A and B are shown apart, each in its own frame.
Chain A
Amino acid sequence: MSKVRRIDASEYIAPTDPRALAEQGVDLSVELAGMKLPNPILTASGCFAAGAEMERFYDIAELGAIVVKSVTLEPRDGLPTPRMAETPSGMINAIGLQNPGIDAWLAKDLPWLQGKGARVVVSVAGTSVDDFRAVTRKLRGRGGIAAIEVNLSCPNVEERGLVFACSPTDSAEVVTAVRREVDVPVLAKLTSDVTDIVAIARAVVRAGADGLTLVNTVLGMAIDPETGRPEVYNTYGGLSGPAIRPIAVRNVHQVHAALPEVPILGCGGIRNVTDVVQFLRAGAAAVSVGTATFVDPFVGPRLIKNLRSWLAERGYGSARELVGTVQPWR
């Protein structure tokens, strides 16, 4: 009897439901902060490089959009190794924003993505408001960019290294600066490592963010018990993977409850179609898949296919019907 190693074991065959629709009858298209996307499955920044690495496996234009690895004004080689530690149902990473810099990215990576017909969300990062402004300015007037995602989980050198996303005023300042530079939608990516994520969300929306990406990795630490050394060179790193999914779902729900009009890109530990459904129900208009790509290179197309089946089997005509449908206990 062969034992099968299952990559996504929680995909579940529902008994045929009288409401079931034909799969072709399901509309997966969504609108996210003004972007019209063919489906709600996007990549998460930093988990898909610049796209070409994944094109070896499938046509990446199938995805709702590609959120590229954060780009900074100058090229960055990132942190020394070790950069990663596996933790229960998750991993901690501290890469240090390794990227070729905006000029090289514009010369090589963006034209490649455009040539493939992918919808591109550019994640921008910086260590000062001026940095963010300058990197975004380079994107002005470049066709083929669907949106900008502002990576606010960067240390602010002007505030003793405090992460922008931990301060409503710093976050708002960055978003204001970015918003002025471009006429494409701007998504602000927030962290869960704050007392009140709704306060940060309100601040960035007031500053002009068209939508929110919720959430970035959660700060974590792992220590080698024998050597006593932190398992990543940077001491702390971002925890991702299924381990953080409940935290992310909670954040999406909190923000959607407080700001129901604000479009949300849900992100954190998504692996299976049921995870996607949780995020949509919590209030996300679309989702970003990150760490799961490391385990299953085909997770994006698989989720698109499985979401279609999931919706069809239950008689939902579109993915949009699920958004913000948490049912109360009463």
Chain B
Amino acid sequence: MTSARRTGSMEGRKDTDDPVMASCEVLARRREGAYWLLSLAAPTIAQRARPGQFVNIAVEGTGTLLRRPFSIARVSMQGVAAGTVDVVFDAHGPGTEWLTRVDLHDVIDVVGPLGTPFPLPQRKVSCLLIGGGYGAAPLFFLADELTRKGLRVDMIIGAASQDRIPNAIEAKRITASVTFTTDDGSYGTHGRVTDVLDDTVERCRSGVVYACGPNPMLRAVSERCAELELPVQIAVEEKMGCGIGVCFTCVLPVRTKGGVVHMKRACIDGPVFNGTRIAWDQSRYDLGRPLDLEEVDAEPPPDPERLTDADVFGGGA
């Protein structure tokens, strides 16, 4: 009657895309700049996962109770494990610190894939992916999918400093162009992602923006995209209790089509939202953070080929 789980044991429904709870062997654990990367043998989760979704990992720290959510940075269906899931994270508490100390071949307990994926364009369009810090990690998974669909992918990755830019070489390899920004100027452009947003959109003739990173950055990107009338899909970061839609902890104010604002759960209604539908002014992410955008003075000439959300994603995205 013990619950000792063997690698590969899995609970959940079969033949669906529903999340499962799986025991996953650690296949790699390494530093990635200031961050950590874990690669897990998780065939079912890898098979069901789509870019933007996350996994919820059980951790053991002093007094820790809850799982910790991590965006899926990449999946691979190759190799002996026949399906791996990578996560990239920053150690900033007892739970994530415990995760930095797991050993190769340890078995950890993972629930996923959870949340909504990024909607993919239904037509040929140039895609701009904007990431902040380790929040850029899931954009690699997204870039793989978009490239597979034959779409142009450009990236902007911003971070506090060079060591907080995840996998710059890989970013260059998988994109048509990538622009780096750092707050301290240690790599790429000295500044923030929004400082290079307008130029990049114009140069790459971007028709849609995907973003993932700290919420203040997502707010700045969403508000600028709204001004540029660019469809923008973001994956938000919120503190979560359960990750499966039952505790109502991870909510944020979202404007529905009728204009009414409702609290939506990041874990099940999101984490991917239309960035222009978040009622940022009613959120916590307006506390004295410079939004950069006020400095943008000259509006670029309107692009006659601007697409609407319906153009890009079809129906009701």
Show the binding face of A for B, using Cβ within 8 Å. 2-9, 11-13, 46-49, 53-54, 56-58, 69, 77-78, 80-84, 86-91, 93, 95, 98, 241-242, 291, 293-298, 302, 306, 309-310
Using known A-B contacts A53-B268, A295-B66, A296-B21, determine if residue A47 contacts B111 with beta carbons closer than 8 Å: no
Asked whether B1 lies within 8 Å of A81 as measured between CB atoms, the reply is no
Partner of A2, one of B7, B244, B246: B7
Contact residues in A for B166 (Cβ distance below 8 Å): none
Asked if B191 is an interface residue, CB under 8 A from chain A, the answer is no
Bound-state Cα–Cα, A98 to B246, Å = 11
Contact residues in A for B252 (Cβ distance below 8 Å): 81
5 closest residue pairs by CB, A with B? A88-B63, A294-B242, A53-B245, A84-B249, A56-B18
Task: For A59, give the chain B residue with the smallest CB separation.
Answer: B13
Asked whether A78 lies within 8 Å of B64 as measured between CB atoms, the reply is no
CB distance from B84 to the nearest CB of A (A): 17
Contact residues in B for A90 (Cβ distance below 8 Å): 65
Contact residues in A for B67 (Cβ distance below 8 Å): 294-295
Contact residues in A for B242 (Cβ distance below 8 Å): 293-294
Task: For B58, give the chain A residue with the smallest CB separation.
Answer: A5
Asked if B103 is an interface residue, CB under 8 A from chain A, the answer is yes
Contact residues in A for B64 (Cβ distance below 8 Å): 86
CB distance from A111 to the nearest CB of B (A): 19
The SS class assigned to the A binding surface is loop
Asked whether B58 lies within 8 Å of A295 as measured between CB atoms, the reply is yes
New A-B contacts (7) at CB < 8 Å, excluding given A57-B13, A89-B63, A293-B242: A6-B2, A46-B248, A82-B284, A95-B247, A291-B65, A294-B241, A302-B3
Most central of A13, A81, A87 by chain B CB within 10 Å: A81
Using known A-B contacts A2-B106, A12-B1, determine if residue A53 contacts B248 with beta carbons closer than 8 Å: no
* Bitwise interface map of B from 94 to 135 toward A, beta carbon under 8 Å scored 1, else 0: 000000000101111101000000000000000000000000
The SS class assigned to the B binding surface is loop
Contact residues in A for B251 (Cβ distance below 8 Å): 78, 81, 83, 98
Enumerate B61-91 residues with CB–CB distance to A below 8 Å.
62-67
Asked whether A297 lies within 8 Å of B239 as measured between CB atoms, the reply is no
Bound-state Cα–Cα, A95 to B242, Å = 13
Asked whether A297 lies within 8 Å of B18 as measured between CB atoms, the reply is no
Asked whether A4 lies within 8 Å of B246 as measured between CB atoms, the reply is no
CB distance from B42 to the nearest CB of A (A): 14
Task: For B245, give the chain A residue with the smallest CB separation.
Answer: A53
Most central of A77, A95, A295, A309 by chain B CB within 10 Å: A295
Contact residues in B for A57 (Cβ distance below 8 Å): 11-13, 18-19, 21, 244
| Subset of 11 A-B contacts with CB under 8 Å | A5-B107, A56-B13, A57-B13, A58-B12, A69-B246, A77-B262, A81-B238, A82-B239, A89-B65, A294-B247, A302-B3
Using known A-B contacts A78-B263, A297-B111, determine if residue A306 contacts B245 with beta carbons closer than 8 Å: no
Interface residues in B, total, Cβ within 8 A: 49
Asked if B5 is an interface residue, CB under 8 A from chain A, the answer is yes
Asked if B4 is an interface residue, CB under 8 A from chain A, the answer is yes
Bound-state Cα–Cα, A296 to B66, Å = 9
Asked whether B284 lies within 8 Å of A5 as measured between CB atoms, the reply is no
* Bitwise interface map of B from 264 to 277 toward A, beta carbon under 8 Å scored 1, else 0: 00001000000000
Contact residues in A for B244 (Cβ distance below 8 Å): 53-54, 56-57, 294, 297
Partner of B263, one of A4, A12, A77, A294: A77
Partner of B66, one of A9, A54, A91, A298: A91
Contact residues in B for A242 (Cβ distance below 8 Å): 65
Using known A-B contacts A2-B25, A2-B107, A57-B12, determine if residue A84 contacts B247 with beta carbons closer than 8 Å: yes
CB distance from A263 to the nearest CB of B (A): 26
* Bitwise interface map of B from 7 to 47 toward A, beta carbon under 8 Å scored 1, else 0: 10001110010110101010000000000000000000000
Asked whether A53 lies within 8 Å of B246 as measured between CB atoms, the reply is yes
* Bitwise interface map of B from 212 to 247 toward A, beta carbon under 8 Å scored 1, else 0: 000000000000000000000000001101111111
Bound-state Cα–Cα, A93 to B246, Å = 13
Asked whether B63 lies within 8 Å of A49 as measured between CB atoms, the reply is no
Task: For A75, give the chain B residue with the smallest CB separation.
Answer: B262
CB distance from B314 to the nearest CB of A (A): 25
Asked if B144 is an interface residue, CB under 8 A from chain A, the answer is no
Contact residues in A for B183 (Cβ distance below 8 Å): none
Using known A-B contacts A4-B4, A5-B109, A53-B268, determine if residue A91 contacts B246 with beta carbons closer than 8 Å: no
Using known A-B contacts A2-B106, A241-B65, determine if residue A7 contacts B3 with beta carbons closer than 8 Å: yes
Bound-state Cα–Cα, A306 to B1, Å = 7
Bound-state Cα–Cα, A54 to B141, Å = 27
Bound-state Cα–Cα, A6 to B107, Å = 9
Using known A-B contacts A47-B246, A53-B244, A93-B241, determine if residue A6 contacts B3 with beta carbons closer than 8 Å: yes
Contact residues in A for B62 (Cβ distance below 8 Å): 88
Asked if B195 is an interface residue, CB under 8 A from chain A, the answer is no
CB distance from A65 to the nearest CB of B (A): 16
Asked whether A11 lies within 8 Å of B3 as measured between CB atoms, the reply is yes
Asked if B60 is an interface residue, CB under 8 A from chain A, the answer is yes
CB distance from A221 to the nearest CB of B (A): 16
Bound-state Cα–Cα, A242 to B64, Å = 11
CB distance from A151 to the nearest CB of B (A): 15
Asked whether A6 lies within 8 Å of B241 as measured between CB atoms, the reply is no
